[in-house]
Structure 1
Amino acid sequence: MSTLNGFTTDSSRALPLYVLDHNGFAAWNAQQPAALQAWLKSQQFNAAPGSVALLPGTDGLAGAVLGVGDRADAYSYAHAPFALPAGSVWKVAGELDVASASNLQLGWGLGSYRFARYRKPARAPAQLLASPSSEVADVITACLRVRDWVNTPTEDMGPQQLEDAARALVNAHGGELEVIAGDELLEQNFPTIHAVGRASHRAPRLIALRWGKADAPHLALVGKGVCFDTGGLDLKPADGMRNMKKDMGGAAHALALAGLVMAQELPVRLTLLVAAVENAVGPDAFRPGEVITTRKGITVEIDNTDAEGRLVLCDALAYASEQQPEAIIDFATLTGAARIALGPDLPALFANDDTLAQQWLDAGDATRDPVWRMPLWRPYLRYLNSGIADMANAGSRMAGSVTAALYLERFIEAGQTWAHLDVYAWNDSERAGRPAGGEALALRSAWAMLKTRYGR
């Protein structure tokens, strides 16, 4: 698991780092010696977002200028750790306001990340002379956990390993863990989780973590933990299957957010539910055309075995809803349709409660960790009609993310507050502070929303 890299408290080698935006550069530059002005001019440096200029001294480096854009966006600073020399140490020159200093530290921590489980990184990040607050450190840790868990190949990140991750949270923060696995899922009425995972040699399971005081507001977090998705008998093509180790990205978000809630002692009673399976191909794989009676008693005809995420979630959501929490929030790498509509960076938010949705939208704007609200357009339930069951798990290609969310909503009790985030959990390409691979999206804004909602 990644540690909090990129920070030091050793000031002996620290060099000054000037953090400037384009608008503030001219005034700062005018106060510098003529030789330094000429040096920066020769590089055509103007503190554009994402830029760095190293400042020469008589014995080597004398400092650096970090060009940033939106100071409220942690990623404005995230290029620094690998744009500055490896292992160098930097102290911010001048004063930053509290919010900018926190965003700098957050961006530095995110930008220092490299997945190192199987290969040593080519170089070390530059170090920032700083001691992040417990909240900033816990937020960074949560984001890096998502990256690590999603990046880890399935042989090392199966249902058991998701259970281990939940157990580690309980060991660190207290609480209780219950795991219902294998055929016990049938005995305790979780038939869709069992159906999707039964063909794998690794037993499917429902992981239930409970934490907090009994009289606190009850928050339920639910995660889709499909540790690998072949598509089942409706087999994915090779390019569609290539990165399906990331199909547990929803579970990674839910686990990481639960860890953040526990570490920061948010005043809630937390229930975390992760439906952990591998959608495999084998003699016992569930088949197109089968009808499954779900935990809620709704019969579902299997139109497509590659629409498995909503199947494992529906039993978990029904179980969460039975407990009548104040709010249910689920995270899932659910549909390609959401990515076609919004691209990789904007998770699709569906919610049956306007207040919760607006709180998350506002938190996304404040943290620059956005979500985009999509409609629960209930007339599209017709696309899930079945000729022999209460509904089908898939159907038309029309409005694919909407119909997936509508499917999930059927398993929420009337009047229950619920939000669903359809998240990509992945960076397709390398960007400053965002290495290719697993990514935490809307996790920081989810935390900010929960703080607002629960009075922190």
Structure 2
Amino acid sequence: MSNSTSNSTSELLQISIAADKAAAKWGPNALLSPTQTGYQIHLSGNEPLRAIQKAGRSLDNLGVTQLQLTGDGWSKDLQWAFYQGFCNAKRHGGVTFSNEQGDAAQLEQLAQCFAFAKKMINDTPEMLSPVVLAEQAEAFIRSVAPEGSVNSQLISGADLAEAGWHGIYQVGRGSTRPPALLVLDFNPAQSADTPVAAALVGKGITFDSGGYSIKPTEGMATMKCDMGGAATVTAALALAIMQGLQQRVKLILCCAENLISGHAYKLGDIITYKNGTTVEIVNTDAEGRLVLADGLMCAAESGAPLIIDAATLTGAAMIAVGGEYNALFALDQPLATRALQYAASEQEATWQLPLEKWHQQQCPSPYADTANSRPVKGGGAGGASNAAGFLSRFVPADGKGWLHFDLAAAFNNSANGYWAAGATGHGIRTIATTLLTETSAK
């Protein structure tokens, strides 16, 4: 987001792009060199986006808090890469974008949506209970949507069990702060007869202790980010609305705290879902798929031909693709191919991992239709694909029209040369573009 209006642009550090190398006195490979009014970034090599992002990170590390991008060469993608590197967990603004190519308004929209998602993900678990997460997501969508275009339903606590949403209820019942399901209906036509074109489903685990399959301290310390899927799909919907979305879309957030208490769900419990599927709990730390199952069935009830879910679901995805990529799973290969193209167009690294119908059988149980994982560390080999296979039990039409994003790149516990510590927002642009493109084509 841009600097405050009290600062005139002439008072800000001016950041420009230089085509030539820095003067020798700054070193043979200097990325930045000072000018009379600020700094210039010296781009060389075949990775300009990474170089620009690294320059933004370097300027933040110098303590710069306000700056202006100026001069020639600032494409939309370069400006956005700089913004991503420059911002940190305490400051989501400070960049005045260049409008030389008419991109400033779109970049401000991106910044607004990313700032919302990052703040939510970086908030402490104490600040962000399941109900508060749902309420803040609803408020943000209402703030960007046309008046009268949003309706919502919030179901919480024991009412979830009464309504048949047993996955969210069971995972969240160990906390004194009730679990919640938000079903938000964005309907710009404001007609009840308008078909739902898409549904977005987000994992909203506001804190994950692992339950009785308790995480070690080093694994639990970052679990405020386990609602990253909910924040990501909310921001993606908001961005699509800002960019002119005219189709009816359902936003479904599955919110809970996974804690230990005398009322928490336990190993050996069996959950019976709305569609009749029975699930034995062999790992209470494989809770994300349990809440998403409810969300996916809710999405299916809407009749939406496109269902996209996003979740910080498995450590296995991070092992497979690292912290720079999100993992994509789909049974609908033509749709997956298009989604990868959308991700590439938005410069968000995404990699497809294997998913076949037989992955549904990879977590067998002698007591239920399936277990929620394998009772081994990390869920065993192929854990991310097995989790996706579990989810595929709860989507319609054998997975046609369904995409699952495992958000391996959503959060960094520590800073590096390109990212500050905390949430990244990685995936928001991909999902927004997928939503806009796929629904407009129908």
TM-score, with normalisation over the residues of structure 1? 0.84
The separation in 2 between residues aligned to 1:441 and 1:15, in whole angstroms, is: 27
Paired residues for 1:401-420 under 5 Å: 401-415=384-398, 416-420=400-404
Per the alignment, in what secondary structure is the counterpart of residue 156 of structure 1? coil
The separation in 2 between residues aligned to 1:6 and 1:404, in whole angstroms, is: 45
Q: Once the 2 structures are TM-superposed, how far is the Cα of residue 64 of structure 1 from its aligned partner?
A: 3.1
Q: Which moved more, 1:142-151 or 1:298-307?
A: 142-151
Query: Is residue 242 of structure 2 the alignment partner of residue 268 of structure 1?
Result: no
Paired residues for 1:305-324 under 5 Å: 305-324=284-303
Per the alignment, in what secondary structure is the counterpart of residue 10 of structure 2? coil
Q: Once the 2 structures are TM-superposed, how far is the Cα of residue 449 of structure 1 from its aligned partner?
A: 2.9
Q: In structure 2, what is the equivalent of residue 438 of structure 1? A: 423
Among candidates 257, 260, 263, match of residue 236 of structure 2:
257
Contact 1:209 1:271 in 2 (8 A): yes
The separation in 2 between residues aligned to 1:434 and 1:360, in whole angstroms, is: 24
User: Are residues 84 and 385 of structure 1, via their aligned partners in 2, closer, same or farther at CA, if it must alter by over 3 Å?
Assistant: closer
Paired residues for 1:25-174 under 5 Å: 25=20, 40-45=23-28, 51-55=31-35, 61-62=36-37, 64-68=39-43, 73=49, 76-77=52-53, 79-80=55-56, 81-82=59-60, 86=64, 89-90=67-68, 92-93=70-71, 95-96=72-73, 100-116=74-90, 130=99, 133-172=104-143, 173=145, 174=149
Contact 1:5 1:112 in 2 (8 A): no
Contact 1:74 1:104 in 2 (8 A): no
Q: In structure 2, what is the equivalent of residue 365 of structure 1? A: 344
Contact 2:197 2:439 in 1 (8 A): no
Per the alignment, in what secondary structure is the counterpart of residue 109 of structure 2? helix
Q: Once the 2 structures are TM-superposed, how far is the Cα of residue 83 of structure 1 from its aligned partner?
A: 6.5
Contact 1:5 1:109 in 2 (8 A): no
Contact 1:72 1:368 in 2 (8 A): no
User: Are residues 153 and 295 of structure 1, via their aligned partners in 2, closer, same or farther at CA, if it must alter by over 3 Å?
Assistant: same
Q: Which amino acid aligns with 1:151?
A: N
Among candidates 206, 209, 219, match of residue 227 of structure 1:
206
Any stretches of 5+ residues in structure 2 without a counterpart?
none
The separation in 2 between residues aligned to 1:124 and 1:140, in whole angstroms, is: 8
Q: Which moved more, 1:150-159 or 1:391-400?
A: 391-400
Contact 2:358 2:389 in 1 (8 A): no
Q: Which amino acid aligns with 1:10?
A: S
1:128-177 deviation digits (Å, cap 9, x = unpaired): 56585332212222222222111111000111221221231343124011
Per the alignment, in what secondary structure is the counterpart of residue 65 of structure 1? strand
1:106-133 deviation digits (Å, cap 9, x = unpaired): 23433342333xxxx7x99575565853
Q: Once the 2 structures are TM-superposed, how far is the Cα of residue 433 of structure 1 from its aligned partner?
A: 5.1
User: Are residues 5 and 177 of structure 1, via their aligned partners in 2, closer, same or farther at CA, if it must alter by over 3 Å?
Assistant: farther
Contact 1:4 1:109 in 2 (8 A): no
Contact 2:2 2:96 in 1 (8 A): no
Contact 2:131 2:156 in 1 (8 A): no
Q: Which moved more, 1:75-84 or 1:332-341?
A: 75-84
Q: In structure 1, what is the equivalent of residue 10 of structure 2? A: 12
The separation in 2 between residues aligned to 1:433 and 1:277, in whole angstroms, is: 32
User: Are residues 249 and 14 of structure 1, via their aligned partners in 2, closer, same or farther at CA, if it must alter by over 3 Å?
Assistant: closer
Contact 1:360 1:445 in 2 (8 A): yes
Among candidates 357, 365, 371, match of residue 378 of structure 1:
357
The separation in 1 between residues aligned to 2:3 and 2:318, in whole angstroms, is: 31
User: Are residues 176 and 399 of structure 1, via their aligned partners in 2, closer, same or farther at CA, if it must alter by over 3 Å?
Assistant: same
Paired residues for 1:281-300 under 5 Å: 281-300=260-279
The separation in 2 between residues aligned to 1:67 and 1:8, in whole angstroms, is: 30
Per the alignment, in what secondary structure is the counterpart of residue 331 of structure 1? strand
Identity of aligned residues (%): 31
TM-score, with normalisation over the residues of structure 2? 0.87
